[in-house]
Structure 1
């Protein structure tokens, strides 16, 4: 695969200069599917909507209630990531109780549709249950709780999860460890991060284990901190296999033009790399309908992100954070911004969708 990717990377980059296609009526033709257009061994994925902010929205659970959503999910994508269904507050709501129903359903769906799964996430400062954050546990108890959680969750899906986001967002934007808001690092010290990777590897030696974060697309203080930490962990023999950039982008800001070079320096350490949560939000214009220029800019951001990943041999996993604006998290968390995904509320394909499709076809040599 590496020789094919090396030979076709230039084609993917060249696709950046191709004119964007106008949105077209939905088609189910195989050649119009992202997963079919992808080069061999390259996985195009999406988050599976559910949990988190969806619980307070005026619609039922998207994955279980929306048949059209599931149909597109199966046809278009070769990889799926539970958006919230594997996070602590959802999967471990009480100290002595797990709720695997939603996660089990996603993994089973993926297996039926010949998709791989990215597990998300094991150690994070956010979306932890109240029993954990307010539990007043001793250090020994907290360590045992974390180890038991990782062993139980990773072990349940052993051999069925391709990649795990083991440690999520452990640095702030200045490259400092989150020693205050991350309960694990605050209470147990930085060494718990290495332990989390060791425990996950013991529970499933086949899964690839990743660091995952936002605002690390370019070379900056935050990505530098990860680069330094990874080198230290590798010297210790810690089973760290990958580094992933979330890529929650906004057209308010310039595109991270050093994305490819940043991925390459982690690749040079022997790590796999990935794009794990790509969306491109924009300012909601007066009248509530994006302009053609906004959609062109958005499509270019999607295209350039994919091209950067394709150009790096070890970047074989590319995930967008939801595919339809109908279930996007963006309007809930970013006031005045929206329209971040590649399909509209009605599942109509945007120029951003075709930007991905064309770039994948160029990389495959079609």
Structure 2
């Protein structure tokens, strides 16, 4: 795939530690063969890399970055500021009370300096702020970052990241950006950053989609709207959920989980051919749309390598058998791969 689209955009996958460390050799071979950009699924999130105030855990991240360098891949850092997977201590003082704005900003700057600085010149682009817009109205999400720092929390994160590595690309990343309210919220946020002289190199549209929703028209409207801000567009977390979904919305709010229920886990022995055909068409249609806008799209990254790796096996219900990616549990390409390659021709 990386060769088929090399004149259009990077094609990549999010990696877990088993793949980076060489324990999943079949997956590693597939990554080298198919992709030219990589994202870290979890190992550069705050709780993983900086679990305690005076403790960093760099080994997994170092291995990830080394893997990217060895294979000459466009290596992404994910993510510097997020309301999930950030340890409680970041927002508390020594007595366990809410920390002051000054203390949280000091911690944020120190974290970004240390993490971005360590990989300066090695990580090519960073998801600086992740999922800061709420799902309903497109307002700033009510988080500890907003509550303690105030409305300039995103500006501060981008300023610190730019200072730590002036040459890295800096991104805003979020899900459900095909929704007009959420799109408007992101446009407002990016314009407020631009008004302060802060450059957002690209907006990451997480592609956690279903077989029919969102429509291609909805996705395209956001590609066009974001490009009009002078930003590139990245599709950062692409997967297609083929299973019935109890969630009220297409998206990726990891806090929204449900109890096990057989009616939401209907393909335990394999994907019916009719659904495989729908999945094939869906991926082909999306890649055709991406190619149409290749002048503004820099990167398309799948959220996982094979179906076995996908977070959708456990969200929004644990233990499901999910089929959202282009390669199956036996590391084999699905019919969708050929269909996607056809769009490049």
State the TM-score, normalized to the length of structure 1.
0.82
Q: How does 1:75-224 map onto structure 2 within 5 Å?
A: 75-133=33-91, 135-136=96-97, 137-174=99-136, 175-179=138-142, 182-216=143-177, 218-224=178-184
Q: Is the 8 A contact 1:274 1:309 kept in 2?
A: no
Query: Structure 1 residue 244: deviation in Å?
Result: 1.2
Q: How does 1:280-291 map onto structure 2 within 5 Å?
A: 280-283=240-243, 284-286=265-267, 288-291=269-272
CA offset digits 1:23-63 (Å, max 9, x no partner): xxxxxxxxxxx11111326210100024xxxxxxxxxx343
Partner of 2:199: 239
Partner of 1:14: none
Q: For this pair of structures, how many residues does the alignment match?
A: 315
2:277 aligned counterpart, secondary structure = helix
Partner of 2:7: 40
1:74 aligned counterpart, secondary structure = helix
Tell me, in whole angstroms, the C-alpha distance in 2 between the residues paired with 1:295 and 1:152. Answer: 45
Which of 299, 309, 333 is residue 315 of structure 2 equivalent to?
A: 333
Query: Structure 1 residue 256: deviation in Å?
Result: 4.2
Structure 2 CA distance for partners of 1:321 and 1:287, relative to 1, 3 Å: closer
Structure 2 CA distance for partners of 1:186 and 1:256, relative to 1, 3 Å: farther
What are structure 1's unaligned runs of at least 5 residues? 1-33, 51-60
Tell me, in whole angstroms, the C-alpha distance in 2 between the residues paired with 1:98 and 1:255. Answer: 42
Root mean square deviation, CA, Å: 1.7
Which of 269, 292, 302 is residue 311 of structure 1 equivalent to?
A: 292
State the TM-score, normalized to the length of structure 2.
0.86
Partner of 2:246: none
Tell me, in whole angstroms, the C-alpha distance in 1 between the residues paired with 2:304 and 2:2. Answer: 15
Tell me, in whole angstroms, the C-alpha distance in 1 between the residues paired with 2:8 and 2:163. Answer: 26
Q: Which is bigger in relative contact order (C-alpha 8 A, separation at least 6)?
A: 1
Q: Is the 8 A contact 1:88 1:128 kept in 2?
A: yes
Query: Structure 1 residue 125: deviation in Å?
Result: 0.3
2:121 aligned counterpart, secondary structure = coil
Query: Structure 1 residue 80: deviation in Å?
Result: 0.2
Higher helix share: 1
Tell me, in whole angstroms, the C-alpha distance in 2 between the residues paired with 1:311 and 1:252. Answer: 20
